[in-house]
Amino acid sequence: MAKLNEGDVIEGIFTIALSLYLAYGQVEKKKLNEIRTKVDTKMFGTGRFKHKVVEGHMRQRGKNPPDFFNVNFEMRLKPESIYGAFDKEYEVLYKSSKDVGKIDKKIDQLIKAIEGASFSRRASAAVDHFLSNNVGEVVTFTVIADGIAGESSGGEIKGDVTLEVYATKKGGNQKIISGSLPFSLKSESVTVANLSPYRGMLDIAKAIGIKWDAEEKYVRLAKPFNGPTEQAAKFALIKEMYDDLKDQMIKESIKPSFTDRALDFLGKSIFGSDLADVVDVQSGTVKEITVDYFNQLRKNVTLIAKSNGNNLVFSDKKTDVPIFQIRTKLRPPPANEAKFYLEVGKGIYSK
Protein backbone atom coordinates (compact mmCIF):
# COMPACT_ATOMS: atom_id res chain seq x y z
CA MET A 1 0.00 0.00 0.00
CA ALA A 2 1.29 3.45 -0.95
CA LYS A 3 2.10 5.98 1.75
CA LEU A 4 -0.63 8.47 2.67
CA ASN A 5 -0.07 11.80 0.90
CA GLU A 6 -1.72 14.52 2.97
CA GLY A 7 -1.33 16.99 0.10
CA ASP A 8 -3.57 14.80 -2.05
CA VAL A 9 -6.04 14.35 0.81
CA ILE A 10 -6.22 18.11 1.35
CA GLU A 11 -7.27 18.58 -2.28
CA GLY A 12 -10.37 16.55 -1.52
CA ILE A 13 -10.99 18.18 1.87
CA PHE A 14 -10.69 21.67 0.39
CA THR A 15 -13.12 20.74 -2.40
CA ILE A 16 -15.79 19.66 0.07
CA ALA A 17 -15.16 22.66 2.36
CA LEU A 18 -15.40 25.17 -0.49
CA SER A 19 -18.63 23.52 -1.70
CA LEU A 20 -20.18 23.81 1.76
CA TYR A 21 -19.08 27.42 2.07
CA LEU A 22 -20.67 28.28 -1.28
CA ALA A 23 -23.89 26.52 -0.32
CA TYR A 24 -24.33 27.77 3.25
CA GLY A 25 -21.82 30.55 3.87
CA GLN A 26 -20.07 28.43 6.50
CA VAL A 27 -18.40 25.06 6.93
CA GLU A 28 -19.56 22.59 9.56
CA LYS A 29 -16.89 20.04 10.35
CA LYS A 30 -19.42 17.28 11.03
CA LYS A 31 -21.08 17.80 7.64
CA LEU A 32 -17.70 17.90 5.88
CA ASN A 33 -16.62 14.61 7.45
CA GLU A 34 -19.98 13.02 6.75
CA ILE A 35 -19.58 13.81 3.05
CA ARG A 36 -16.10 12.23 3.14
CA THR A 37 -17.73 8.89 3.97
CA LYS A 38 -19.86 9.14 0.81
CA VAL A 39 -16.98 9.65 -1.63
CA ASP A 40 -16.71 6.53 -3.81
CA THR A 41 -12.96 6.25 -4.36
CA LYS A 42 -13.41 3.33 -6.76
CA MET A 43 -14.59 5.85 -9.33
CA PHE A 44 -11.19 7.58 -9.35
CA GLY A 45 -9.82 4.78 -11.51
CA THR A 46 -12.12 5.60 -14.44
CA GLY A 47 -13.24 9.19 -13.83
CA ARG A 48 -14.55 11.64 -11.27
CA PHE A 49 -16.84 11.05 -8.31
CA LYS A 50 -19.73 13.55 -8.49
CA HIS A 51 -21.81 14.78 -5.55
CA LYS A 52 -24.66 17.28 -5.13
CA VAL A 53 -24.19 19.37 -2.01
CA VAL A 54 -27.36 21.42 -2.44
CA GLU A 55 -29.93 21.80 -5.20
CA GLY A 56 -32.37 24.66 -5.76
CA HIS A 57 -31.31 26.38 -2.52
CA MET A 58 -33.07 29.77 -2.41
CA ARG A 59 -31.06 32.74 -1.17
CA GLN A 60 -32.14 36.37 -1.18
CA ARG A 61 -30.60 39.70 -0.22
CA GLY A 62 -32.90 42.56 0.74
CA LYS A 63 -35.66 43.22 -1.77
CA ASN A 64 -33.74 41.77 -4.70
CA PRO A 65 -35.39 38.86 -6.50
CA PRO A 66 -34.33 35.52 -4.96
CA ASP A 67 -31.61 33.43 -6.56
CA PHE A 68 -31.50 29.65 -6.61
CA PHE A 69 -28.17 27.97 -6.03
CA ASN A 70 -26.97 24.53 -7.03
CA VAL A 71 -23.64 23.47 -5.58
CA ASN A 72 -21.89 20.31 -6.76
CA PHE A 73 -18.41 18.92 -6.59
CA GLU A 74 -16.44 16.53 -8.75
CA MET A 75 -13.38 14.74 -7.44
CA ARG A 76 -10.63 12.56 -8.83
CA LEU A 77 -7.66 11.86 -6.57
CA LYS A 78 -4.91 9.26 -6.58
CA PRO A 79 -6.52 6.25 -4.86
CA GLU A 80 -3.23 4.84 -3.58
CA SER A 81 -2.22 8.06 -1.77
CA ILE A 82 -5.51 8.91 -0.01
CA TYR A 83 -6.42 5.48 1.38
CA GLY A 84 -8.30 5.79 4.68
CA ALA A 85 -9.26 9.46 4.17
CA PHE A 86 -12.52 8.93 2.26
CA ASP A 87 -15.19 6.30 1.49
CA LYS A 88 -15.81 3.17 3.59
CA GLU A 89 -12.27 3.19 4.98
CA TYR A 90 -12.81 6.63 6.50
CA GLU A 91 -16.34 5.75 7.71
CA VAL A 92 -14.78 3.39 10.27
CA LEU A 93 -12.68 6.25 11.65
CA TYR A 94 -15.58 8.72 11.42
CA LYS A 95 -17.74 6.58 13.70
CA SER A 96 -15.01 6.59 16.33
CA SER A 97 -14.16 10.30 15.88
CA LYS A 98 -10.68 9.49 14.52
CA ASP A 99 -8.82 10.54 11.40
CA VAL A 100 -5.74 9.77 9.34
CA GLY A 101 -2.43 11.59 9.83
CA LYS A 102 -2.80 15.27 10.72
CA ILE A 103 -5.95 15.76 8.64
CA ASP A 104 -8.21 16.49 11.62
CA LYS A 105 -5.98 19.39 12.75
CA LYS A 106 -5.74 20.67 9.19
CA ILE A 107 -9.53 20.68 8.83
CA ASP A 108 -9.75 22.76 12.02
CA GLN A 109 -7.26 25.26 10.58
CA LEU A 110 -9.09 25.42 7.25
CA ILE A 111 -12.41 26.17 8.97
CA LYS A 112 -10.76 28.70 11.29
CA ALA A 113 -9.13 30.54 8.38
CA ILE A 114 -12.04 30.53 6.01
CA GLU A 115 -13.59 33.83 7.09
CA GLY A 116 -10.46 35.88 6.40
CA ALA A 117 -8.86 33.86 3.62
CA SER A 118 -8.37 35.15 0.09
CA PHE A 119 -9.80 31.98 -1.46
CA SER A 120 -13.08 32.31 0.49
CA ARG A 121 -13.34 36.05 -0.32
CA ARG A 122 -13.06 35.20 -4.00
CA ALA A 123 -15.77 32.56 -3.64
CA SER A 124 -17.98 34.99 -1.67
CA ALA A 125 -17.56 37.60 -4.37
CA ALA A 126 -19.00 35.16 -6.89
CA VAL A 127 -22.03 34.57 -4.62
CA ASP A 128 -22.44 38.27 -3.84
CA HIS A 129 -22.49 39.11 -7.53
CA PHE A 130 -25.75 37.24 -7.93
CA LEU A 131 -27.35 38.18 -4.59
CA SER A 132 -26.66 41.89 -5.09
CA ASN A 133 -28.02 42.37 -8.60
CA ASN A 134 -31.68 42.94 -9.37
CA VAL A 135 -32.12 39.74 -11.35
CA GLY A 136 -33.44 36.34 -10.30
CA GLU A 137 -30.99 33.66 -11.43
CA VAL A 138 -30.30 29.98 -11.26
CA VAL A 139 -26.63 29.62 -10.43
CA THR A 140 -24.62 26.42 -10.51
CA PHE A 141 -21.29 26.25 -8.71
CA THR A 142 -19.16 23.20 -9.43
CA VAL A 143 -15.96 22.65 -7.47
CA ILE A 144 -13.64 20.28 -9.31
CA ALA A 145 -10.63 18.53 -7.80
CA ASP A 146 -8.60 16.85 -10.50
CA GLY A 147 -4.89 17.17 -9.79
CA ILE A 148 -4.29 14.20 -12.07
CA ALA A 149 -5.37 16.32 -15.05
CA GLY A 150 -3.00 19.07 -13.95
CA GLU A 151 -0.10 16.64 -13.82
CA SER A 152 -0.78 15.60 -17.40
CA SER A 153 -0.18 19.22 -18.47
CA GLY A 154 3.52 18.84 -17.69
CA GLY A 155 3.37 21.39 -14.91
CA GLU A 156 1.88 24.19 -17.03
CA ILE A 157 -1.44 24.02 -15.15
CA LYS A 158 -1.07 24.47 -11.38
CA GLY A 159 -4.71 24.43 -10.29
CA ASP A 160 -5.59 21.28 -8.34
CA VAL A 161 -9.07 22.57 -7.49
CA THR A 162 -11.19 24.78 -9.75
CA LEU A 163 -14.45 26.57 -9.01
CA GLU A 164 -16.64 26.80 -12.10
CA VAL A 165 -19.67 29.12 -12.22
CA TYR A 166 -22.58 28.91 -14.64
CA ALA A 167 -25.74 31.03 -14.41
CA THR A 168 -29.01 31.51 -16.29
CA LYS A 169 -31.96 33.80 -15.71
CA LYS A 170 -34.74 32.14 -13.76
CA GLY A 171 -37.22 30.63 -16.23
CA GLY A 172 -34.77 30.78 -19.12
CA ASN A 173 -31.96 28.63 -20.45
CA GLN A 174 -29.58 31.23 -21.83
CA LYS A 175 -26.19 31.30 -20.19
CA ILE A 176 -25.55 34.75 -18.75
CA ILE A 177 -22.24 34.24 -16.99
CA SER A 178 -19.60 31.59 -16.70
CA GLY A 179 -16.06 31.50 -15.41
CA SER A 180 -13.62 29.63 -13.22
CA LEU A 181 -11.32 30.22 -10.24
CA PRO A 182 -8.30 27.87 -9.91
CA PHE A 183 -6.52 27.01 -6.65
CA SER A 184 -3.25 25.16 -6.11
CA LEU A 185 -3.44 23.10 -2.91
CA LYS A 186 -0.48 22.25 -0.70
CA SER A 187 -0.07 20.73 2.71
CA GLU A 188 3.03 21.95 4.53
CA SER A 189 5.08 22.12 1.35
CA VAL A 190 7.23 24.97 0.01
CA THR A 191 8.19 23.21 -3.23
CA VAL A 192 6.72 24.74 -6.38
CA ALA A 193 8.79 22.85 -8.97
CA ASN A 194 11.20 19.94 -9.32
CA LEU A 195 14.06 20.75 -11.68
CA SER A 196 16.06 18.15 -13.57
CA PRO A 197 19.81 18.55 -12.98
CA TYR A 198 20.82 19.40 -16.55
CA ARG A 199 17.76 20.74 -18.33
CA GLY A 200 16.42 22.47 -15.20
CA MET A 201 19.63 24.44 -14.69
CA LEU A 202 19.67 25.46 -18.36
CA ASP A 203 16.03 26.57 -18.17
CA ILE A 204 16.47 28.81 -15.14
CA ALA A 205 19.67 30.30 -16.58
CA LYS A 206 17.86 31.08 -19.84
CA ALA A 207 14.88 32.58 -17.98
CA ILE A 208 17.16 34.86 -15.97
CA GLY A 209 19.03 35.92 -19.11
CA ILE A 210 22.41 34.40 -18.29
CA LYS A 211 24.69 34.14 -21.33
CA TRP A 212 26.34 30.80 -20.68
CA ASP A 213 28.04 28.05 -22.68
CA ALA A 214 26.66 25.37 -20.32
CA GLU A 215 24.46 23.55 -22.83
CA GLU A 216 27.52 22.63 -24.86
CA LYS A 217 29.97 22.46 -21.98
CA TYR A 218 27.88 19.98 -19.98
CA VAL A 219 26.11 18.20 -22.86
CA ARG A 220 27.42 14.85 -21.59
CA LEU A 221 24.70 15.09 -18.89
CA ALA A 222 22.06 14.70 -21.59
CA LYS A 223 23.34 11.19 -22.39
CA PRO A 224 23.12 7.89 -20.46
CA PHE A 225 25.66 6.97 -17.78
CA ASN A 226 26.34 3.26 -17.18
CA GLY A 227 28.13 1.54 -14.33
CA PRO A 228 29.58 2.93 -11.09
CA THR A 229 32.54 4.69 -12.73
CA GLU A 230 30.34 6.62 -15.15
CA GLN A 231 27.79 7.36 -12.40
CA ALA A 232 30.53 8.89 -10.26
CA ALA A 233 31.62 11.00 -13.22
CA LYS A 234 28.02 12.07 -13.80
CA PHE A 235 27.64 13.27 -10.21
CA ALA A 236 30.91 15.21 -10.37
CA LEU A 237 29.76 16.87 -13.61
CA ILE A 238 26.37 17.82 -12.09
CA LYS A 239 28.14 19.42 -9.13
CA GLU A 240 30.54 21.27 -11.44
CA MET A 241 27.64 22.60 -13.51
CA TYR A 242 25.74 23.67 -10.40
CA ASP A 243 28.75 25.48 -8.91
CA ASP A 244 29.13 27.21 -12.26
CA LEU A 245 25.43 28.18 -12.24
CA LYS A 246 25.70 29.65 -8.73
CA ASP A 247 28.66 31.81 -9.78
CA GLN A 248 26.88 32.97 -12.92
CA MET A 249 23.65 33.73 -11.02
CA ILE A 250 25.40 35.75 -8.31
CA LYS A 251 27.15 37.85 -10.96
CA GLU A 252 23.92 38.32 -12.90
CA SER A 253 22.01 39.46 -9.81
CA ILE A 254 23.77 42.84 -9.74
CA LYS A 255 22.15 43.79 -13.07
CA PRO A 256 19.00 46.01 -13.05
CA SER A 257 17.00 43.50 -15.14
CA PHE A 258 17.67 40.59 -12.76
CA THR A 259 14.71 41.07 -10.39
CA ASP A 260 12.06 41.23 -13.12
CA ARG A 261 13.40 38.16 -14.91
CA ALA A 262 13.76 36.15 -11.72
CA LEU A 263 10.23 37.03 -10.61
CA ASP A 264 8.84 36.20 -14.06
CA PHE A 265 10.38 32.74 -13.72
CA LEU A 266 9.12 32.36 -10.15
CA GLY A 267 5.61 33.55 -10.99
CA LYS A 268 5.26 31.04 -13.83
CA SER A 269 6.56 28.27 -11.55
CA ILE A 270 4.10 29.12 -8.76
CA PHE A 271 0.92 30.07 -10.60
CA GLY A 272 1.23 28.30 -13.97
CA SER A 273 -0.64 29.26 -17.11
CA ASP A 274 -3.98 29.15 -15.26
CA LEU A 275 -2.82 31.67 -12.59
CA ALA A 276 -3.88 29.51 -9.65
CA ASP A 277 -3.61 31.02 -6.17
CA VAL A 278 -1.77 28.76 -3.70
CA VAL A 279 -3.47 27.56 -0.50
CA ASP A 280 -1.16 25.73 1.92
CA VAL A 281 -3.21 24.01 4.63
CA GLN A 282 -1.01 23.19 7.61
CA SER A 283 -1.72 21.64 10.99
CA GLY A 284 -1.11 24.99 12.70
CA THR A 285 -2.22 27.58 10.13
CA VAL A 286 -3.27 28.24 6.53
CA LYS A 287 -0.88 30.18 4.27
CA GLU A 288 -1.66 31.66 0.87
CA ILE A 289 0.31 32.90 -2.13
CA THR A 290 -1.98 34.99 -4.29
CA VAL A 291 -1.42 36.47 -7.74
CA ASP A 292 -2.54 39.89 -6.46
CA TYR A 293 -0.04 39.88 -3.58
CA PHE A 294 2.73 38.65 -5.85
CA ASN A 295 2.09 41.52 -8.27
CA GLN A 296 2.31 44.00 -5.38
CA LEU A 297 5.44 42.31 -4.04
CA ARG A 298 7.31 42.61 -7.31
CA LYS A 299 6.87 46.40 -7.21
CA ASN A 300 8.68 46.59 -3.88
CA VAL A 301 11.51 44.05 -3.88
CA THR A 302 14.96 44.01 -5.41
CA LEU A 303 16.42 40.51 -5.54
CA ILE A 304 19.98 39.47 -4.89
CA ALA A 305 21.31 35.92 -5.32
CA LYS A 306 23.48 34.36 -2.60
CA SER A 307 25.01 30.95 -2.04
CA ASN A 308 24.04 29.27 1.22
CA GLY A 309 25.79 25.91 1.39
CA ASN A 310 24.39 23.85 -1.47
CA ASN A 311 21.42 26.17 -1.86
CA LEU A 312 21.06 29.24 -4.06
CA VAL A 313 18.91 31.80 -2.23
CA PHE A 314 17.12 34.78 -3.82
CA SER A 315 16.46 37.41 -1.14
CA ASP A 316 15.13 40.95 -1.00
CA LYS A 317 18.18 43.18 -1.06
CA LYS A 318 16.63 45.70 1.35
CA THR A 319 15.34 43.32 4.04
CA ASP A 320 17.37 40.13 3.40
CA VAL A 321 14.08 38.21 3.57
CA PRO A 322 14.24 35.10 1.31
CA ILE A 323 11.71 35.12 -1.53
CA PHE A 324 12.68 31.78 -3.09
CA GLN A 325 15.58 29.38 -3.41
CA ILE A 326 16.96 26.43 -5.32
CA ARG A 327 17.47 23.70 -2.75
CA THR A 328 19.63 20.80 -3.76
CA LYS A 329 20.00 17.27 -2.54
CA LEU A 330 23.39 16.12 -3.77
CA ARG A 331 24.44 12.67 -2.61
CA PRO A 332 27.32 11.05 -4.51
CA PRO A 333 27.54 7.33 -5.32
CA PRO A 334 26.56 4.86 -4.02
CA ALA A 335 23.42 6.95 -3.29
CA ASN A 336 23.94 8.81 -6.59
CA GLU A 337 21.11 11.26 -5.89
CA ALA A 338 20.94 14.73 -7.43
CA LYS A 339 17.68 16.59 -6.91
CA PHE A 340 16.89 20.26 -7.45
CA TYR A 341 13.84 21.86 -5.83
CA LEU A 342 12.47 25.33 -6.47
CA GLU A 343 11.10 26.45 -3.11
CA VAL A 344 9.34 29.60 -1.92
CA GLY A 345 10.56 31.59 1.07
CA LYS A 346 8.64 33.29 3.86
CA GLY A 347 8.61 36.63 2.04
CA ILE A 348 6.26 35.33 -0.66
CA TYR A 349 3.18 34.61 1.46
CA SER A 350 0.26 37.04 1.60
CA LYS A 351 -0.62 35.76 5.10
In the prediction, which pLDDT does 332 show? 87
> How is 322-346 classified by DSSP, letter by letter?
EEEEEEEEEE-TTT-EEEEEEEE-G
Tens-digit pLDDT profile for residues 166-178? 888 876 665 555 6
Tens-digit pLDDT profile for residues 15-48? 999 999 999 999 999 999 999 999 999 999 889 9
Give the pTM: 0.91
Distance of CA 46 to the CA centre of its chain: 24
d(CA 48, CA 192): 25
In the prediction, which pLDDT does 169 show? 83
Tens-digit pLDDT profile for residues 86-132? 999 999 999 999 999 999 999 999 999 998 999 999 999 888 988 99
Tens-digit pLDDT profile for residues 50-84? 999 999 999 999 999 999 999 999 999 999 999 99
Q: CB count, 10 Å around CB of 346?
A: 10
In the prediction, which pLDDT does 135 show? 86
> How is 143-173 classified by DSSP, letter by letter?
EEE-HHHHHTTTTS---SEEEEEEEEETT--
> How is 182-207 classified by DSSP, letter by letter?
EEEEESS--EEEEE-HHHHHHHHHHH
